[in-house]
């Protein structure tokens, strides 16, 4: 039987009180259209298409004209405004569609405001809120305009709830008006702050009891080009002065374009600090380090021009922490917060990599550490948790003595299950780890088909037991991304989904919540028996190419005298799967003739082990060499020998699991075009020997992914005097485990159990069933420090046990 022994008398590492936190980025309408509840889209007419979001209303008795002007603006930072000229006998104007509709609730108050200047005549302005079906929900008339800009306000109280309302603004009476900064804002916001955040969404964050809040991203920090990077100084002060910026997620994905996505910065850096304070989270600001997103332009600020970027970081620290008497502290005080926000950490760059990052990080660190040695610096480690970019950076970051390294991972659930022990062997004396972005992907990274299901949540939970167990190294962790609007997302999965009125947490949300609310103060060792699911080092074979046209022939797989596969391509290639139109058999060879993209074909059986694969390969054209695949267990699970990789500079042995590559080893070498190479890979148990033209080039031992029937970790909550045990059972059947709490005299009779499970691995939550997968609490009497517990299939269970 499986046993779980918790050594209550052997406390280990202390857990960072800020261990489990939140990653916020304005993606998927996370800020504008989400947490920042302005209901008017393009309120300042500063979108490149000045009337985007606005629709002209001109019934036949109306006559008029809408023009965009910049003369004598209210604020030169946002100079554009609209002139509405009405010359007919019926009201003339336009309506705003909001962020995929305007969400309003019956009887609640909404503040309508606009900057208005009278231009001709003395018309009035009608503000009318319409439901999706055209019924008027409420209306108001504004008048008495002068030739000077003035803010006019009114309150609307809709007579029905509607998620897709519209606001019409109509000029009644002949004449002309100038209009700018049109706003409709709910009165009911978080803490009822005027212009404050969307209350139900903040409540979801507060309910997580987050240890920290990372802001503002994410790639949004970097910008696709430097000009469009996030600049914190432009996000504070009067709302009217905050300059609009196109959101990088507006155009990032051609399969999810969002042409109406811009950043108004209504949720700026002051609001971020205030939010942290409200929900008790440590602020973790991330700043641009002089690099634009390396997935886009990768634009760089020359090293000798980096000073203004470093100055921005110094000023941010002063804005947050400085006394109200100094320059930036005074700006904070003027915004209504004389007390400092006490930031303790700062991120330098987001998801950067390469030498260019190190050079820039080093310059930031030198200045920041000299002036603010108490501020912990978070440095980037690239976008993947084990690829060559990661392995290049880590040792150098260690040399640079960075405080915390920000690791990211988006991968299939199998990766998270297999990496629950990732940190067990990490260097205890090096920089600490911030698992700053992670989320299990049910299909593939950036696939719109990804679902927030129970399987992903359990994979994250299993992985988090490993983060918790290694709390001396892993000091913080956050799921990413955070929010998504169901009608306006670019990226999935996400932690929290909303529409204009509703919100629900995903199974992953409840996993984060269970860990955060049961954080504890100190790690307790846990011993598990009979949980290892021993996988054999086995799998089929494959051929592949990257940016290269290649032909393969004489593919043999043998075990001793036995032939497992013989492909001489005399009669086609029917034993190979995964081929697309680029693959064809010609002249006894299997050819992939396009020197672009990535191509792979597979053959054989997942049970094959201890075999020798031999083949001949010839490069026809292109940038690299060819791929030889062994131990293929699935489309994203295999060992790859990449000959002539990295622009034909080396041969690379790597292990691919759940869409992530783990570098095993690399050797110098190139592949020439036009000549046949003899390739051989021998497998003996977990060992591999890789030969090119009869010469041993690389050998390694690659253990199969380590997966378990149960995952567990434990902590002690010193204030509550409780031991907290977290157990994940990803399996298809309930599992009874014998639990032993060693080193305690007794346990209290009542144990609190929180179980998170659902109707199958694909189960998830929705607006209709927001708690289908959510923790359910119960109490039981264990009768002593040794008891059995039946962990439900597909579950995360948290037991809180009072001990003496
Ligand atoms: O979380 C979505 C994106 O993933 C983040 O912006 C970026 O840091 C990562 O690539």
- Whether 256 has a pLDDT exceeding 90, the answer reads yes
Q: Select from 666, 557, 674, 542 the least CA-distant residue to 599.
A: 542
Give the pLDDT confidence of 510-556 residue by residue, as tens digits. Answer: 999 999 999 999 999 999 999 999 889 999 999 999 999 999 999 99
Q: Select from 438, 441, 447 the least CA-distant residue to 420.
A: 438
- Whether 732 has a pLDDT exceeding 90, the answer reads yes
Q: According to the 3-state scheme, what is the secondary structure of 246-299?
A: ECHHHCCCCCCCCCCCEECCCCCHHHHHHHHHHHCCEEEEEECCCECCCCCCCC
Q: Select from 430, 300, 424 the least CA-distant residue to 353.
A: 300
Question: How many angstroms separate the CA atoms of 441 and 415, rounded?
Answer: 10
1 with 9: CB under 8 angstroms? no
- Whether 706 has a pLDDT exceeding 90, the answer reads yes
Closest atom of ligand 1 to CA, residue 437: 1
522 with 12: CB under 8 angstroms? yes
Tokens of 298: 């990768």
Helix (H, G, I), strand (E, B) or coil at 686: coil
- Whether 804 has a pLDDT exceeding 90, the answer reads no
Burial of 489 (0-12, 13-18, 19+ CB in 10 A): buried
Tokens of 131: 């439901």
Average pLDDT over residues 576-592: 96
User: How many residues are there in the chain?
Assistant: 804
Tokens of 481: 């991304």
Give the pLDDT confidence of 76-114 residue by residue, as tens digits. Answer: 888 999 999 999 999 999 999 999 999 999 999 999 999
For ligand 1, the distance from its centroid to the CA atom of residue 296, given in whole angstroms, is: 13
Considering the entire predicted model, what is its pTM?
A: 0.96
CA distances from 728 to 452, 527, 788, 796 (A): 17, 14, 15, 4
pLDDT at 77: 83
Average pLDDT over residues 150-154: 98
For ligand 1, the distance from its centroid to the CA atom of residue 219, given in whole angstroms, is: 5
Tokens of 170: 């109509």
For ligand 1, the distance from its centroid to the CA atom of residue 421, given in whole angstroms, is: 24
Average pLDDT over residues 143-171: 98
- Whether 775 has a pLDDT exceeding 90, the answer reads yes
pLDDT at 351: 97
- DSSP-assigned letters across all residues of 310-335: HHHHHHHHHHHHS-TTSHHHHHHHHT
801 with 741: CB under 8 angstroms? yes
Give the pLDDT confidence of 615-624 residue by residue, as tens digits. Answer: 999 999 999 9
- DSSP-assigned letters across all residues of 694-719: TEEEEEEE-PPP-EES-EEEEEEETT
Question: Which residue's CA is the closest to the ligand 1 atom numbered 1?
Answer: 481
- Whether 658 has a pLDDT exceeding 90, the answer reads yes
Beta bridge partners of 390: none
- Whether 691 has a pLDDT exceeding 90, the answer reads yes
Closest atom of ligand 1 to CA, residue 217: 6
Beta bridge partners of 669: none
Give the pLDDT confidence of 394-439 residue by residue, as tens digits. Answer: 999 999 999 999 999 999 999 999 999 999 999 999 999 999 999 9
Question: How many angstroms separate the CA atoms of 333 and 324, rounded?
Answer: 6
Q: Which residues of 407-439 are buried (b: 16+ CB within 10 A; e: fewer)?
A: bbbbbbbbbbbbbbebbeebeeebbbbbbbbbb
pLDDT at 408: 98
Q: Which residues contact 49 (CB under 8 A, 6 or more apart)?
A: none
92 with 171: CB under 8 angstroms? yes
CA distances from 655 to 579, 695, 705 (A): 22, 22, 10
CA 300 to chain centre: 24
Average pLDDT over residues 41-57: 98
Closest atom of ligand 1 to CA, residue 351: 8
For ligand 1, the distance from its centroid to the CA atom of residue 729, given in whole angstroms, is: 29
Residues at CB less than 6 angstroms from ligand 1: 25, 27, 217-219, 350-351, 383, 437, 480-481, 491
Among 252, 282, 351, 437, the active-site one is 351
For ligand 1, the distance from its centroid to the CA atom of residue 502, given in whole angstroms, is: 25
Give the pLDDT confidence of 177-217 residue by residue, as tens digits. Answer: 999 999 999 999 999 999 999 999 999 999 999 999 999 99
Active site residue 351: yes
Average pLDDT over residues 46-65: 96
148 with 180: CB under 8 angstroms? no
Q: Residue 516 carries which DSSP code? A: H
Would you put residue 75 in left (φ > 0), alpha (ψ -120 to 50) or beta? beta
Q: According to the 3-state scheme, what is the secondary structure of 403-469?
A: CEEEEEEEECHHHHHHCCCCCCCCCCCCCEEEEEEEEECCCCCCCCCCCCCHHHHHHHHHHHHHHHH
Give the pLDDT confidence of 341-396 residue by residue, as tens digits. Answer: 999 999 999 999 999 999 999 999 999 999 999 999 999 999 999 998 999 999 99
Average pLDDT over residues 735-740: 98
Question: Which residue's CA is the closest to the ligand 1 atom numbered 7?
Answer: 218
Q: Residue 52 carries which DSSP code? A: T
**Kind of pairing between the strands at 64-69 and 81-86:** antiparallel
Measure CA of the first residue to CA of the last residue in the chain; give whole Å.
27
Give the pLDDT confidence of 445-474 residue by residue, as tens digits. Answer: 999 999 999 999 999 999 999 999 999 999
Average pLDDT over residues 61-76: 95
Q: Which residues of 327-350 are buried (b: 16+ CB within 10 A; e: fewer)?
A: ebbbbbbebebeebbebebbbbbb
CA 278 to chain centre: 23
140 with 154: CB under 8 angstroms? yes
Q: Residue 732 carries which DSSP code? A: S
């Amino acid at each position: 039987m499986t046993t779980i022994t918790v050594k209550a008398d052997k406390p280990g590492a202390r857990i960072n009180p800020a261990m489990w936190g939140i990653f916020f980025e304005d993606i998927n309408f996370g800020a504008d259209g989400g947490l920042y509840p302005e209901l008017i889209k393009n309120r300042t007419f500063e979108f490149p298409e000045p009337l985007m979001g606005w629709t002209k209303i001109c019934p036949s008795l109306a006559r008029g004209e809408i023009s965009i002007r910049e003369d004598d603006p209210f604020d030169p930072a946002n100079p554009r405004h609209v002139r509405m000229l009405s010359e007919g006998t019926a009201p003339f104007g336009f309506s705003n569609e909001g962020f995929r509709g305007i969400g309003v609730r019956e009887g609640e108050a909404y503040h309508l405001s606009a900057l208005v200047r009278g231009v001709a005549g003395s018309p009035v302005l009608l503000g009318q809120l319409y439901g999706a079906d055209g019924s008027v929900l409420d209306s108001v008339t504004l008048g008495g305009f002068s030739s000077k800009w003035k803010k006019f306000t009114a309150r609307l109280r809709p007579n029905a709830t509607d998620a897709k309302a519209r606001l019409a603004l109509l000029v009644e009476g002949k004449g002309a008006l100038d209009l700018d900064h049109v706003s409709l804002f709910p009165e009911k916001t978080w803490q009822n702050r005027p212009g404050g955040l969307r209350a139900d969404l903040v409540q979801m964050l507060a309910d997580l009891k987050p240890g920290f809040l990372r802001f503002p991203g994410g790639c949004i920090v970097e910008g696709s080009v430097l000009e469009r990077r996030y600049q914190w100084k432009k996000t504070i002060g009067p709302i009217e002065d905050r300059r609009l910026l196109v959101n990088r997620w507006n155009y990032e994905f051609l399969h999810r374009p969002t042409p109406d996505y811009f950043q108004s910065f209504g949720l700026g850096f002051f609001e971020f600090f205030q939010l942290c304070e409200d929900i008790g989270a440590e602020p973790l600001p991330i700043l641009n380090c002089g690099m634009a997103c390396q997935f886009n332009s990768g634009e760089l600020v020359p090293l000798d021009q980096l000073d203004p970027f470093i100055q921005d970081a110094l000023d941010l620290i002063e804005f947050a922490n400085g006394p109200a008497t100094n320059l930036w502290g005074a700006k904070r005080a003027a915004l209504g917060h004389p007390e400092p926000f006490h930031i303790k950490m700062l991120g330098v760059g987001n998801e950067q990599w390469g030498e260019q990052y190190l050079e820039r990080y080093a310059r930031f660190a030198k200045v920041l550490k000299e002036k603010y040695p108490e501020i912990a610096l978070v440095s980037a480690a690239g976008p993947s948790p084990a690829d060559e970019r990661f392995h290049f950076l880590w040792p150098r970051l260690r040399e640079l003595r960075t405080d915390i390294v920000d690791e990211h991972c988006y991968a299939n659930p199998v990766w998270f299950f297999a990496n629950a022990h990732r940190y067990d062997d990490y260097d205890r004396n090096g920089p600490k780890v911030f698992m700053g972005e992670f989320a299990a992907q049910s299909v593939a990274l950036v696939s719109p088909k990804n679902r927030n299901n129970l399987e992903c949540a359990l994979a994250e939970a299993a992985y988090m037991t490993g983060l918790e167990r290694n709390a001396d190294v892993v000091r913080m962790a956050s799921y990413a991304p955070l929010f998504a609007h169901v009608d306006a997302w670019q990226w999935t999965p996400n932690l929290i989904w909303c529409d204009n009125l509703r919100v629900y947490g995903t199974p992953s949300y409840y996993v984060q919540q269970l860990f955060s609310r049961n954080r504890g103060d100190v790690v307790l060792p846990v011993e598990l028996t009979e949980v290892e699911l021993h996988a054999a080092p086995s799998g089929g074979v494959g051929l592949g190419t990257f940016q290269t046209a290649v032909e393969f022939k004489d593919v043999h797989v043998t075990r001793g005298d036995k032939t497992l596969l013989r492909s001489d391509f005399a009669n086609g290639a029917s034993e190979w799967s995964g081929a697309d139109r680029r693959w064809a058999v010609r002249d006894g060879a299997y050819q992939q003739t396009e020197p672009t993209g990535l191509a792979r074909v597979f053959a054989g059986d997942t049970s094959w082990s201890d075999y020798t694969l031999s083949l001949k390969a010839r490069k026809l054209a292109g940038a690299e060499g060819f791929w030889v695949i062994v131990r293929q267990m699935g489309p994203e699970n295999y060992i790859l020998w990449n000959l002539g990789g990295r622009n034909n500079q080396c041969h690379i042995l790597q292990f691919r699991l759940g869409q992530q590559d783990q570098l095993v080893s690399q050797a110098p070498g190139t592949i020439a075009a036009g000549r046949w190479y003899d390739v051989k890979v021998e497998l003996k148990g977990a060992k591999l020997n890789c030969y090119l033209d009869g010469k041993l080039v690389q050998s390694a031992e690659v253990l199969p992914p380590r997966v378990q029937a149960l995952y567990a970790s434990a902590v002690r909550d010193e204030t509550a005097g409780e031991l907290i045990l977290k157990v994940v059972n990803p399996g298809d059947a309930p599992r009874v485990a014998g639990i032993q709490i060693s080193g305690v005299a007794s346990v209290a009779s009542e144990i609190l159990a929180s179980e998170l499970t659902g109707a199958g691995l694909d189960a998830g939550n929705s607006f209709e069933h927001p708690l289908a997968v959510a923790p359910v609490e119960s109490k039981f009497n264990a009768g002593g420090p040794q008891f059995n517990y039946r962990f439900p299939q597909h579950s995360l269970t948290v037991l809180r046990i009072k001990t003496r």
